[in-house]
Amino acid sequence: MFIDIPSELEAALVDLPLPPWRMDDSFLATSTMERYRTDLTATPQFEETAATLRHALTGEGGGYAVLRLGNLAKELGTDNDRFLRIATSFAAEVAVPFSPFPRWPLWKDIGVKADKDPGRSSGIGYNAFHMDLVNATLPPDFTTLLCVRPDPLGGGPSILSDAHAAAARLPENCRALLTESAYHYGTFFDLFGVGEEYKPFPILDGSNLGKGFVRFSAKMLERSKLCPEHAEAARELADELVRGQVSFMLQPGDYLVVNQHRFLHGREALHSGQETVPIADRRLLLQLFLRAKADDGPAM
């Protein structure tokens, strides 16, 4: 779902002097969230826009949204702290912003490195469907990506797929294999606020379709040692995710928010020739994670 910002709200946000945020350990401080909410609720149509965003993420049939902040990005500049505070304030309307990586700031850069593993988020190749921090007992409830610059050569559309709908299309014996704790992927160190390492883990949290995480990363098919039966079940899920995918190109200022309880995400390959693009002109996203508020319950 794409959500445009009403012109009256855009005009108010351009002139709104939101203060710098404060952190409580790796989480956005409650005092900052309260101040942002107080300031923003005084602007026209903010509450209606925030409600539309929340419904798109957690309402019936929802699971992701793209907030169109492009006009604000043009007016303020994507490298302006005021613009990033506006994006943070919208994120705080959904859940609590936090950084699971103590060595990184609240917003983490995802640039393009032509010499890195092509399948990684900073690589140039196809980034297959996955859930962020798949091997944590408490993965982020939401993952978000703010587009600063798209690929200037025209590649790299974002891809998303309804993970529960994909699992529902699988035969029962396949789903049964996916509920077994037989899967593992990735490393686990120097993390905050995401629980403990989960290894091995089930892809499906239980037999009740539509509930819980779908703990999947297509990279496990190539980089983890799985028995043939469990590997084949995961491949069938991967095929269904691709079959049901949606794709779109993020534009400057577009803010993608994904409910990890419902959708998996990825990215098509960037256009060939990235090594000819100056680093300062390459695709750049900023990533922020969100933890559901305790009184909101699961982000289902």
- Span 243-260, pLDDT tens digits: 999 999 999 999 999 999
Residuewise pLDDT in 10s, the chain (300 residues): 899 999 999 999 999 999 999 999 999 999 999 999 999 999 999 999 999 999 999 999 999 999 999 999 999 998 889 999 999 999 999 999 999 998 899 999 999 998 888 888 889 999 999 999 999 999 999 999 999 999 999 999 999 999 999 999 999 999 999 999 999 998 999 999 999 999 999 999 875 666 789 999 999 998 889 999 999 999 999 999 999 999 999 999 999 999 999 999 999 999 999 999 999 999 999 999 999 987 665 565
Domain range summary for the chain, segments of one domain joined by +: 2-293
**What's the CATH number of domain 2-293, 3.40.50.970, 3.90.1150.10, 3.60.130.10, 3.40.367.20?**
3.60.130.10
Using a 10 angstrom Cβ sphere, with 0-12 exposed, 13-18 middle and 19 or more buried, the burial of residue 266 is buried
- Span 97-126, pLDDT tens digits: 999 998 899 999 999 998 888 888 889 999
How far is CA 240 from its chain centroid? 20
- Residues 6 or more apart in contact with residue 263 via CB below 8 angstroms: 63, 64, 160, 161, 162, 163
pTM for the model stands at 0.95
- Residues 274, 79: Cα–Cα separation, whole Å: 22
Other CB atoms within 10 Å distance of the CB of residue 17: 7
